[in-house]
Structure 1
Amino acid sequence: MNDLAERRVRASAWFRDLRDRICAEFERLEDEAAGDERYGPGAPGRFVYTDWDRPDPSGEPGGGGTMGLMKGRLFEKVGVNISVVEGVFEPEFARSIPGAADDPRFFAAGISLVAHMKNPHVPAVHMNTRYLATTTDWFGGGADLNPPLPRAEDTADWLSAWQDCCDRHGPDHYERFKAWCDEYFYIPHRKRARGVGGIFYDRLGLGEGGAGQSEDWAGNFAFTRDVGETFLAAYPPLVRRNMARDWSAEDRAAQLRYRGLYAEFNLVYDRGTQFGLKTGGNVDAILMSLPPLAAWE
């Protein structure tokens, strides 16, 4: 197996393993909410997995993925998707992708997660990490917290976890990747941030023009794995801290209005949504990030 093939296998296996552990933890949280009258009757939710295949425009097989979706009692809607796709970019799109202008072949693997919670006091959350390869290769991803009703303690603990993660891998990682997150998850037409922040990074491994890092594949993969581990360590405690809080009709209305902002960002600005649609991905899996209910004034 050559180096590039080994990289693809290792990255794809990691995303699958991370998916399994996140889904297991989310189902444990569902079990912990069992019997809590705040969440109504019924059994705890469980993930339903749907495999999908992607036909490449070239006519060759294009890989595929698995959409994991749970509509539970605590988790009103949560999707945890993995994908491993390859093929040929359309010419216009190829010009915007590093290393694809002259050779449009690509490989992409990743995990993408969005959780919308029943209780307005439990923050919604987004996390994704990905590995892309053309004639070069790189990592990207991040995580951001999206509370309809922000609490200072939650925000402080969330950001502290990401600072610790980044500091393990580079002295300037947190400062740059937090600022990148704040810039990326901003809704220009609303003149406001989508959430309270986290980290965002892209093109990690391309050097100048990417995230400014050296072409250290092993180090960049280690950082990407740590992003997944940090999410698993940081988010469930926030759920447990807030899941027993009572909420009012006004709290629910505020949550639904906030979800409208979330939907606007994902449909208008999100690069992952655009990449998935432009490469012929599964539409249901791509749009699993949208909330089950939202409201606009």
Structure 2
Amino acid sequence: MQMQLERETAAAWFRELRDRIVAAFEGLEDRGPDQLPSGRFEVRETRRADGGGGGLMSVMRDGRVFEKVGVNWSAVHGELSASARSAMAARGVPGIEDDPRFWASGISLVAHMRNPHAPAVHMNTRMFWTPAAWWFGGGTDLNPCLEYAEDTAHFHDTLKTACAPHGADYYDRFKDWADEYFYIPHRQRARGVGGIFYDDLNTGDWQADFAFTKAVGEAFLPAFLPLAEARMKQDWTEADRDVQLVHRGLYAEYNLVYDRGTKFGLATGHDADAVLMSLPPLAKWV
């Protein structure tokens, strides 16, 4: 009964965070360059193929500031496939191969910007439950095609401040994890300038781990919005646009080949359009 309440609490908070980010992004659109109409999110419900819950898919396309941005929320349940159980067991999740039932909820966000000087960004936070274990995971990383050192510093400083009250080593540990996770081996390079990433977080104190996960979610808008607002009206050239499109190709490669969330969503029968909303609207390869 207690874990049921905690699951409901987490799912409701992820939904509330989704609502606030959607409102903030639409507000940014209203302050953006006026050559185009202000963008708005299109929202539709999503359902798992087996009827095990669903969520909301919210996507804005062709806006003033965002060329494409998705902010998804979900709360799903069902049974894990044998391959998913094996992968989790390999990560050390206890009891996962004995009982295939699971529940998961979270928010997932990817923004591809219209102005090449404005950085693309990713963020997600989630809770996962099985009869034998529960854990939190998530993170955020910045993906500029044209990097500004001051933007990178602001993003990381905001995350460091958010992590500090929850663990003296959290920022350093989860920054290193992000550097390792958001890396494209076949290109031998990172997909961006990093951030933080964590998974399988269970210290034994649900309230403390949830508080940290909320802190990561709360830090996102202060970390990202000032960067987008500062760059959204900056002049850019066709050469800048070309660099942006090539960089988006790297992002697409990573998400299709390596991203843990993409693999899980497709393997467990969630709405494919919602799972793949992270892909850029346009990209190119040289």
SS at match of 2:247: helix
1:108-119 pair list within 5 angstroms: 108-119=104-115
Letter of the 1:149 counterpart: L
- List alignment gaps of at least 5 residues for structure 2: none
Displacement after TM superposition at 1:34 (Å): 4.8
1:82 corresponds to 2:73: yes
- Superposed CA RMSD in Å reads 0.9
Name the residue aligned to 1:209.
none
1:206-225 pair list within 5 angstroms: 214-225=203-214
Percentage of identical aligned residues: 58
| Greater RCO, 1 or 2 (C-alpha within 8 Å, sep 6+) | 2
SS at match of 2:25: helix
1:48 corresponds to 2:42: yes
**Deviation string for 1:83-130 (max 9, x for gaps)?**
100011122322222232100000000100000000000000000000
Following the alignment from structure 1 to structure 2, what is the Cα–Cα distance between the partners of residues 172 and 52?
38
SS at match of 1:155: helix
1:95 corresponds to 2:92: no
Name the residue aligned to 1:20.
19
Following the alignment from structure 1 to structure 2, what is the Cα–Cα distance between the partners of residues 159 and 55?
38
Aligned equivalent of 1:248, options 213, 237, 246: 237
- List alignment gaps of at least 5 residues for structure 1: 206-213
Letter of the 1:62 counterpart: G
Aligned equivalent of 2:52, options 34, 40, 62: 62
Name the residue aligned to 2:251.
262
Displacement after TM superposition at 1:241 (Å): 1.2
**Deviation string for 1:234-258 (max 9, x for gaps)?**
1111111111210000000000000
SS at match of 1:295: coil
State the TM-score, normalized to the length of structure 2. 0.96
How many residues align? The count is 279
State the TM-score, normalized to the length of structure 1. 0.92
More deviation in 159-168 or 19-28?
Answer: 159-168
Q: Which runs of 4+ in 1 moved over 4 A?
A: none
Would you say the 8 A contact 1:131–1:138 is kept in 2?
A: yes
Following the alignment from structure 2 to structure 1, what is the Cα–Cα distance between the partners of residues 46 and 280?
21
Following the alignment from structure 2 to structure 1, what is the Cα–Cα distance between the partners of residues 79 and 194?
34
**Deviation string for 1:180-208 (max 9, x for gaps)?**
00000000000000000100000000xxx
1:171 corresponds to 2:168: yes
